[in-house]
Amino acid sequence: MVRHGAGTIAGSRSILQVTGPEKLPFLDGLVTADIKVLPPGRCAYAALLNDRGRVLADLNVLNVGEGYLIDVDRDLGPKVLGLLNSSRVSEAVDVLDRTGDFDSMYVVGAGAPDAVGRLGLQIPPAGHWVEGVEMIASRLDDLGLPVVALAAAPERIASASRRLQESGCVPFGRETWEVLRLEAGVPKYGVDFDEGTLALEAPIRRGIALDKGCYVGQEIVARLVHRGQLKRTLVSLIVDGMPPPGAAILQGSSVVGRLTSAAYSRALSATVALGFVPADGDQPGARFTVDAPGGRVPAVVSAVPLVA
């Protein structure tokens, strides 16, 4: 229903604001995306790294003209706020926590743009955001299908949710969201990757500008790109049976990695999963086995999205 129509799910996001005369060099020196080329009205996926090239958080950056909004998972909000504040070396940058001013929701599915349009908001193309009457709409499309994120005061989001449901949008829960993100091969920070993960080990390369100037962790990223020293990579897998997250991934009789997420996909009649495998095993069609209740089952690396 979500894929062919439109569904809604409550968001759980923190909104941070970066303003001040030096906002651009400050933020551009921290995130992996090249926000120097991000014009007003555009948004970009990015990550924050430490000086060893490992991922501290992933987030979305919105250029709102007078400054930047940072849209980040609610669980990561305090961490990112602390990282931004600890990186300030000038009073010419202000970092504010705007989370209390916003609630959020996602409208997902082929019918999502039309559904949002019925709220009176302009439909943003992918990678853009628009501001309507006291509401921000960001077009993310990171699940392999249209995704419009709405952010506004809590009462505005509650009203929008009611109107969307009245127009036929179906609310859905976290279990369905998990299936959709795994069918699209989208990793979740704190589940599939974390501070122990090198930036290039996780499928977040769309958020890494390899040709931008310096940012924290950039030297390590560049070294790995040019020397190809990755030992492992996170891949999407189609798995027979129902192995749980944490299950061992084997090549022959050797354990070479573990599943990080797994869920059953009705569209594929199989389990879809993310897991780490050796870096040379990341090609679609590469075959492994996975420990599952009842014995080992086949697992095949798949290109994403897994469901068209």
For the stretch 145-201, pLDDT in tens is 899 999 999 999 999 999 999 999 999 999 999 999 999 999 999 999 999 999 999
Share of the chain above pLDDT 90, in %: 83
Give dist(CA 292, CA 269) in Å, integer.
16
Q: Taking the CA of residue 298 as centre, how many other CA atoms within 13 Å lie in the half-sphere pointing to its CB? A: 6
Residue 32 pLDDT more than 70? yes
For the stretch 193-207, pLDDT in tens is 999 999 999 999 999
Torsion 211-213-217-222 (CA) sign: positive
Of 62 and 228, the structure prediction assigns the larger pLDDT to 62
Give dist(CA 145, CA 20) in Å, integer.
36
Whole-model pTM? 0.92
Of 289 and 227, the structure prediction assigns the larger pLDDT to 289
Mean pLDDT value across residues 81-101: 94
Q: What is the pLDDT of residue 1?
A: 65
For the stretch 235-277, pLDDT in tens is 999 999 999 999 999 999 999 999 999 999 999 999 999 999 9
SS (H, E, C) the chain: CCCCCCEEEECCEEEEEEECCCHHHHHHCCECCCHHHCCCCEEEEEEEECCCCEEEEEEEEEECCCCEEEEEEHHHHHHHHHHHHHHCCCCCCEEEECHHHCEEEEEECCCHHHHHHCCCCCCCCCCEEEECCCEEEEECCCCCCCEEEEEECHHHHHHHHHHHHHCCCEECCHHHHHHHHHHCCCCCECCCECCCCEHHHCCCHHHCCCCCCCCCCHHHHHHHHHHCCCCEEEEEEEECCCCCCCCEEEECCEEEEEEEEEEEECCCCEEEEEEEEEHHHCCCCCEEEEEECCEEEEEEECCCCCCC
Sequence-distant (6+) residues with CB within 8 A of 131 are 64, 137
Q: What is the pLDDT of residue 105?
A: 95
Amino acid, res. 106: Y
Domains of the chain: 7-181 (3.30.1360.120), 231-308 (2.40.30.110)
Mean pLDDT, all residues of the chain: 93
Give dist(CA 201, CA 193) in Å, integer.
9
Q: What is the pLDDT of residue 252?
A: 94
Share of the chain above pLDDT 70, in %: 99
Residue 133 pLDDT more than 60? no
Q: Which of 192, 199, 110 has its CA nearest to residue 146?
A: 110
Of 125 and 217, the structure prediction assigns the larger pLDDT to 217
Q: What is the pLDDT of residue 208?
A: 96
